[in-house]
Amino acid sequence: MLTAYFHPGYAAPIGQHIMPIRKFGLVADGLRDAPGIKLARPEPVTGRDLLRVHTAEYLEAIKTGEPHDLAQSQKFPWSPELFPSVCLTSGGCLAAARRALQDGVSAALVSGFHHASADHGEGFCTFNGLVVTIDALVAAGEIRTAAVLDMDLHYGNGTAQLAASRPHLFALSLYGNDFWDNFSYRDVSERQHVDGSNHKSFALPAGCDRQTLFEIMDEALPLLAKRKPDVLLYQAGADPYFEDPYSPLALDHDDLLARDRRVFEFTKAHGIPVAWVLAGGYTNDVSKVVRVHLNTFAAWREVYGG
Ligand SMILES: [Zn+2]
């Protein structure tokens, strides 16, 4: 049985936006009758949980809407619903990680929000739910170490920055284009991110197909195995999909299903508890985004036999 955490309160009103916030509900709809999958509602994280990662000034801005620029630094229109919704999305991530420690695997129908930094949001990410989760579990004594495997199209810059001061966290990002200045590169080899001792990145070249992706994963995943994290958070992004407006990659639905299968084969073989989140996906036809996410559940079923 797989528990997947969903709450209708995840979605704040953001108007017409490239970020298809309704996709989380659509994925939940697609799972409701799926055998072996239980949808559960998470509790929101507390202010204390958030303050381990984010500054008091930033938290206040998200709560109150002031100062305006900071409250909208993630590029969403601020509303009074924003703060409760992002407490719930971080809560979903935390509940899934906790569940994974019990069951070996779990999911949250939320984004990981990997661009969010300590004192501001960025790229549709308000609070960094991945790091909020990890720090909450460490503070509670439930884990000592954790890792993030980020396979969203975009580089997990917020997570990497937060990892730099957190020896208990190892962040690994396999990204297909750059997100600095929200500008995608046709050739990621032009510019590489600067890695640190506990954050590493691998650039997927433009036109990256399944074979190239697998070669890079085979180079990257052993770094995770070496760390033996107590829990792994897997950011299963839908935006590497070739029709995505941001994607320079050549990965279709089957390729991304194969990606997820490979991740789960890895976590299963190494006995690493894994909780996954959905992450980006901006293809105009939202059903194609939803299919990428539902395929992650199919990969789970194939590997873990749910
Ligand atoms: Zn992305």
Domain spans of the chain, in order of start = 2-304
Is there a contact between 128 and 159 (Cβ–Cβ < 8 Å)?
Answer: yes
- Ligand 1 center–CA 255 separation, angstroms: 17
- Ligand 1 center–CA 301 separation, angstroms: 25
- Ligand 1 center–CA 176 separation, angstroms: 9
- Ligand 1 center–CA 175 separation, angstroms: 9
Is there a contact between 108 and 93 (Cβ–Cβ < 8 Å)?
Answer: yes
pLDDT at 22: 83
pLDDT at 30: 96
Pick the closest to residue 217 from 261, 168, 156 (CA basis): 261
pLDDT at 45: 98
CA separation for the pair 155, 139 (Å, rounded): 27
Across the range 291-295, mean pLDDT stands at: 98
CA separation for the pair 221, 78 (Å, rounded): 38
For the whole model, what pTM was predicted? Answer: 0.95
- Region 2-304: CATH code: 3.40.800.20
CA atoms within 13 A on the CB side of 239: 25
Pick the closest to residue 5 from 107, 130, 94, 133 (CA basis): 107
- Ligand 1 center–CA 15 separation, angstroms: 20
What percentage of residues in the chain have a pLDDT greater than 90? 79
- Tens digit of pLDDT for each residue in 85-120? 999 999 999 999 999 999 999 999 998 899 999 999
- Ligand 1 center–CA 141 separation, angstroms: 31
Residue 186: pLDDT band with limits 50, 70, 90: low
- Ligand 1 center–CA 140 separation, angstroms: 30
- Ligand 1 center–CA 293 separation, angstroms: 14
ω into residue 67 within 30 of 0, thus cis?
Answer: yes
- Ligand 1 center–CA 163 separation, angstroms: 19
pLDDT at 191: 65
Query: Pairing mode, if any, of strands 146-150 and 169-175?
Result: parallel
Q: In terms of pLDDT, which residue wins out, 187 or 254?
A: 254
- Ligand 1 center–CA 287 separation, angstroms: 17
CA separation for the pair 14, 129 (Å, rounded): 19
Q: In terms of pLDDT, which residue wins out, 181 or 145?
A: 145
CA separation for the pair 67, 69 (Å, rounded): 6
- Ligand 1 center–CA 280 separation, angstroms: 4
